Amino acid sequence: MRQHIGDKEGTKDVSDPITSDFLDQVSAKNAEMYSLIDKDRDVYNEKCPNLTSYQNAVLAYSNPLVDEPHVQKAMKEISGNLVPWPLTFLKNEDLSPSLATRAIVPTNLWV
């Protein structure tokens, strides 16, 4: 858990890491830093409810320059890898395997 929240020194209390306060605090700060770095983040947030909109966002995406001072400063503030964005990512997309795949591979893999 310490790796996910970026606690290299072991100073944060992780006795109850699934509380909403704990996770929301870390993920909200990371989200704020990412929004400072990359204002065009449709590729990985709620604005992509289906695969077509995701593919269009990827094609239109322009990567921020890492050597810009404001990007470097914000990157130092990112703690771990928790962010709140993927909660509704591709929520309208059917990601189940095709019928041909289901016929070949055992169904207990898709549950």
pLDDT by residue, tens only, the chain of 111 residues: 777 777 777 777 777 767 777 777 888 888 888 877 876 665 555 567 788 888 887 787 777 777 788 888 888 888 888 877 766 777 788 877 788 877 788 777 765
| Ranges of each domain in the chain | 2-109
Q: The whole model's pTM is what?
A: 0.55
State residue 45's pLDDT score: 57
Q: What is the DSSP string of 35-94?
A: HHH-S--GGGSTT--SHHHHHHHHHH--PPPTTSHHHHHHHHH--SS--SGGGSTTTT--
State residue 46's pLDDT score: 57
State residue 8's pLDDT score: 76
24 token code pair: 């929301």
State residue 11's pLDDT score: 79
